[in-house]
Amino acid sequence: MPKQTFIKLPIDKKETLIHAAKKEFSRVPLFEASIANIVKEAGIPRGSFYQYFEDKEDLYYFLLDEYSQRLRRRFISILKKQNGDLMETFIESFEMMLINLQSIESRQFFRNAFLNMNYKSENTLTPEVNQEQLKTRLAEVVALVDHDKLNITNEMELIHVLKIMKAVTFQNLIQVFAKDLSIDDSLRNYKLEVNLLKKGLSKE
């Protein structure tokens, strides 16, 4: 996470560094990224960089965490609009993600992120779902979900529903980048899988 020096920077200077970092992480994956390129693009001394962040990983995961927070706020907003319908909220949220990925820089940044995903980056984008999280980070989501629209009997089953939806969403996002799918094709595939889950996979 950023140091206090970065947090206290004027907004324009923060945005300049963030833009430079996104440009570099869009050019190459994290492990190939260069702090030298970031500071050159931002127009700051290399020493200043280390006053703001520990290293390039620190900056990278800060960017992912910022995006995760925006995703969470948007998810909650859509969940309210959908009157607690969790499945429809996931579909609309996925569609919004696809639309937001249309800018070249965003698409390249997340292409590099998703095609080089590890546990830490996945958990930064969508933190682990567990009993403790239901009472803290996910408390607002749980309160908004219309449980009557889900075939579940307790919170433990809700945890697993959220885990399944997280896995389906991540896999579909990876396919977007791996196969360079269009919005229509990506959304069609996602809706198909979500609707299969809604119907159930086994016949009685």
Which tokens hold the place of 16? 């300049």
Backbone φ/ψ region at 84: left (φ over 0), alpha (ψ -120 to 50), beta: left
pLDDT in tens, 88-136: 999 999 999 999 888 877 889 999 999 998 888 888 888 776 667 667 7
**Residues 81, 138: Cα–Cα separation, whole Å:** 18
Q: What is the mean pLDDT of residues 143-164?
A: 90
Give the ranges where the chain is alpha helix by DSSP (H): 4-7, 11-27, 35-42, 46-52, 56-81, 86-100, 104-115, 119-125, 131-135, 139-144, 155-178, 183-199
Q: What is the C-alpha to C-alpha distance for residues 179 and 79, in angstroms, rounded to an integer?
A: 29
Quick one: pLDDT band at residue 188, thresholds 50, 70, 90?
very high
The pLDDT assigned to 104 comes to: 76
- DSSP 8-state code for residue 148: G
